[in-house]
Amino acid sequence: MMQLTLGQENAQGGWLSQFDPRLRLIAALLFALAVVSLQRLPLLLTALLLALLLAWRVGLSGPLLRKRLLAMEGFMIVLLVMLPFSVPGESWLTLGPFSASFEGLQRALEIVLRANAVVILLMALIGTLEPVVLGHALGQLRLPQKLIHLFLFTVRYIGVLFDEYQTLRLAMRARAFVAGSNRHTWRSLGWLLGMLLVRSLERSRRILAAMKCRGFSGRFYLVNPNVWRHRDTLGLFAAGGIAAILLLLEQTL
């Protein structure tokens, strides 16, 4: 029997690690669904503040948040610049033949606030979980087993494949390879990618053979000591209540 055994949760998140990981997944889903349904800027700003407060409570520092949000914020800046000029409406700024509308600016702000609120909350609730803990929680929530297997294998072997890439790159540098914008460089990088795929395929065959020798029959038996407790039920009601309040304010204001 092939087992993935988890002896003790090493997840980060301080007090949040006391709750069942399934609660954190469900709470993140409820909050995300509520936030993407909001349209009013004050409510979206409130949701963003709640996400930032949770991130601060679980110990996510400002520099760490900025580092993880850097790629998304670059896209958000482009959105803020371009969307006001592409949505028709009342003009508030004119640059030559181009006119920026209030409606476009409002829509861009909605998207920016919504995206940041959801991403920050996911970082706080799910990003502080150990990958193996997350995989076990997904298994307990009865998600498709193949999806869970793919996730766990990716977590386990992405570092191994990166080491293979580093080895190949070291071999290229030992042969005086210097990257440039020429045909030789692109051909060499193509060979690098092809060799990485070949080595990955060979390693996957060896891993599968080793797993079969240990009795693997196509199924992982996920063993997890986590038990749903009374505090998890209270936390679920609290998360659902916050999401319901945001949706109710959206309908009534």
3-state secondary structure of 84: helix
Question: Which range (8-12, 72-76, 108-112, 151-155) has the least confidence?
Answer: 8-12
pTM, 2 dp? 0.77
As given in the structure block, the two tokens for residue 135 are: 């995989």
Dump pLDDT digits (tens) for 178-201: 888 888 889 999 999 999 999 888
The residue extents of the domains of the chain are 13-129+227-252
Q: What is the mean pLDDT of residues 148-153?
A: 86
As given in the structure block, the two tokens for residue 193 are: 């990618």
Dump pLDDT digits (tens) for 21-61: 999 999 999 999 999 999 899 999 999 999 999 888 888 87
Whole-angstrom distance, CA of residue 25 vs CA of residue 93: 43
145-174 vs 183-213: helix crossing angle, rounded to 10: 130
